[in-house]
Amino acid sequence: MKLKFLTIISLLILLLSSCNLSKFVPEDKYLLNKVNIKSDIEGIGKEQLNPYVRQKPNPGIFGTYRLQLRVYNISGKDTTKRYNRMWRKMGEPPVILNSDETERTRIEIQKYLSNKGYINSNVKVQVSLKKKKANLSYAIIGNKPYTIRTITYDIDDDSIRPYIMKDTASSLLTKNERFDVDVLEAERQRIEEFIKKKGFYYFNKEHLYIEADSSLQSNQVDITIKSKPLLQSRPDGTIEEQMHKRLMVRRVAFIPWYNPEKAYAEQINDTLRKGNFTFFYDKERPLNASLLAEKTHIIPGTYYDEKAVEKTYASLNNLSITKYVNILFREREGMLDCMILLSPTKLQGFSVDVEGTNTDGDLGAAFSTSYQHRNVFKGSEQLNIKIRTAYQPMGNLENLLTNNSIDIGGEASLNFPKFLFPLISEKVKRRIRSSTELSVAFNHQTNPWYSRTVAGSALKYIWVTGSTNNERYVFDLIDAKYVYLPRISDIFRTTYIDVPSVIRYSYEDHFIVRTGFSFSKTTQKPNQALRNYYFYRGNIETAGNTLSAICNLLEVPKVDDAYKIGGIRFSQFVKAEFDYTYNKVVDNRNKFVFRYNVGLAYPYGNADVVPFEKRFFAGGANSVRGWSVRTLGPGLYQSSNMGIDFMRSGDIKLDLNFEYRFKMFWLLEGAAFIDAGNIWTINQYNTQEGGLFNPNTFYQELAYAYGIGLRFDFTFFLFRLDMGVKLYDPSQSRTLQWRLPFTWQDTAFHFAIGYPF
């Protein structure tokens, strides 16, 4: 595998380094080599002006190595040959300097600066030509900007004037601030949203216009906000000017099982009234009326509110049974009647999947079959049943036919699209997109060392908030698991169970009854691909407290210094983890990613150690990639075990990662990375010598790695190959800690699906 990887990389370097960048540049033309923007305006520089540049150089790795252009240049000039067409399709043709596009860029930048208040700005263009290459430079001289002198409201419409004047404190316009056309547009949008929330159904920002008088000859502007009347059509076809009307919602009606291929009348054979809502059904009532009323923010007897309409769309579209939603309004007798049409998606689904797996960095295979019902009790409850079997090689063991792990299991979950909790009011349920999930699971694992059965059940609450529903919270009220080991091999028992071992209690029969809370947020927006964004998630969980309190209250005697239920010990611990990732977007082909991940687990009360499945590990495809999975740490711990070492787990984790990602050509993306991190134990264990965390010296025990990677982006999934190299190994002696120069013994290869973070 190493040889194949090196061969591919070597061929690419050899093939691309010798290409002439100007190969397909015509004799009297020039390759656009660089575009430089220099601005003397604070806050307006290359990042703000770059979108207005009509011509940009061919993209390059690290901004210099133009890989896609080199791939294009591999082709010959005879386009009838498939070989040449292939290279051209995978690459990118040279960007030829175009003077017309240069002038258009200058004009676009000038317009942008004028809109930002720099009406007297100057944009100078300089072109430098050398050896078939052209360097462009745009020099921006801002001069003195225009500022706002006065802000006046001239609202002719008596119906909306009181609302606009009452809300002037929220205005985005400020005296003496720089004049900005974008801020003027944002102010129109803000007023529209505010007025529409007050019941003015027909109002929009086009009913407002802003006059800017800059004739003062003093670099100042007088702003006047004016209104336009509402235009309504008469029965005779003429247009009449009217004052804007504040409308109240009179009725809200549903067709919950709407078929767009039928007329309304054909689908209304049964009527149900639920509070202030009316429901029209065909022959049966396939969707619960109470649920729809709870998910609807448009309330009869209240004034029209645009935000309520948007929330209703979001809530109803979130139902598993919903394919699409359409909300219609019609004015009748000076009020609004609302009709909500819900078209259902497919009621049931069945699937069979064969998949590749990546468990802690080891590739395997799995087969699963799933059944889904999206409306079990006619309340958009979603039932999921899945049966799965998986094959997983065990680390670096030689005989994969016998040294492997085979899993057989199943799980079932029932998701209710609301909070099933008696103390939560209807108002709160309506305001938050929420769901309740009940689940049960069973798994049986067999490997050379042991057979283990895990059975469990859970109850969790999930809700989403944020202006774009970008904040997600999960509260695990209870998650109970029973771990049963019917078989343990003699070698495993002698090595790990019959001796004082950090994992000893994890491989005895035990209970884990936990409660947890997790949260996540992202600022990434689908329509803003070139904007920097971050993602963070965190969780905290605790186990065993309720059982410990019950045993203590009932004065249950301890056995071997621990409470047991039915002769089985239960775990007691607290665990917290936080992960933060920041994406710095350079352009649509280059990105820097920074990641920070820290975790802490602490056993107490009824446990001396955190269960093995809840401990942290280091190394692998998503950690410090110079080490294979579970081969790093804890701390300075050393081991001669060449297979999976169960001692390499810890209670404290720290990962620091930096990665540069760049698009190459065709489906290929590249990456260069630096990783640092390790794990430690929170207590001193004899079987993990050197693993204890010391706040004064832990930074000296961080492992460092560097490497490169390839990504194959198939849109619906991304296949990743990373080569990590050890740079600093804290477990080695002082003279061997820095792993320089490079050796293959210090290299680890990782195959995975998706980005590492």
What pairing do the DSSP bridges indicate for beta strands 433-446 and 147-154? Answer: unpaired
Q: Which residues partner with 342 through β-bridges?
A: 325
Q: Which residues partner with 751 through β-bridges?
A: 721
Q: How much is the pTM?
A: 0.82
Q: Which phi and psi angles does 172 have, rounded to 5°?
A: -85, -10
Are 303 and 246 in contact, with CB atoms under 8 Å apart? yes
pLDDT at 640: 61
E strand spans, 316-361: 322-332, 335-344, 348-359
The amino acid present at 740, given as its one-letter code, is: L
Contacts of 602 (CB under 8 A, 6+ apart): 573, 574, 575, 610, 651, 682
Q: 335, 317, 318: which is closest to 327 by C-alpha?
A: 317
Q: Which phi and psi angles does 694 have, rounded to 5°?
A: -125, 115
- Which residues in the chain land under pLDDT 50? 1-8, 11, 14-16, 18, 360, 396-401, 642-643
Are 337 and 309 in contact, with CB atoms under 8 Å apart? no
The DSSP result for 443-465, as a single string, is EEEE-SSEEEEEEEEEEEEEEEE
**Nearest-5° angle of CA 256, CA 259, CA 265?**
85
What pairing do the DSSP bridges indicate for beta strands 208-213 and 573-587? Answer: unpaired
pLDDT at 397: 42
Structural domains of the chain in order of their starting residue, each with its CATH number: 2-141 (3.10.20.310), 147-242 (3.10.20.310), 249-344 (3.10.20.310)
CB-count burial class (<10 Å; 0-12, 13-18, 19+) for 376? middle
The DSSP result for 663-728, as a single string, is E-STTEEEEEEEEEEEEEBSS--GGGTT-B--TTTGGGG-EEEEEEEEEEE-SS-EEEEEEEEEEE
Q: 373, 368, 451: which is closest to 410 by C-alpha?
A: 368
Are 286 and 256 in contact, with CB atoms under 8 Å apart? yes
E strand spans, 523-667: 533-543, 564-565, 568-570, 573-587, 590-603, 652-663
User: Would you state the structure tokens that stand for residue 226, as one six-digit string?
Assistant: 């004016």
Are 552 and 572 in contact, with CB atoms under 8 Å apart? no
- Please report which helix (H) or strand (E) contains residue 748, including its range: strand 747-753
How many Å apart are CA 611 and CA 632, to the nearest integer? 19
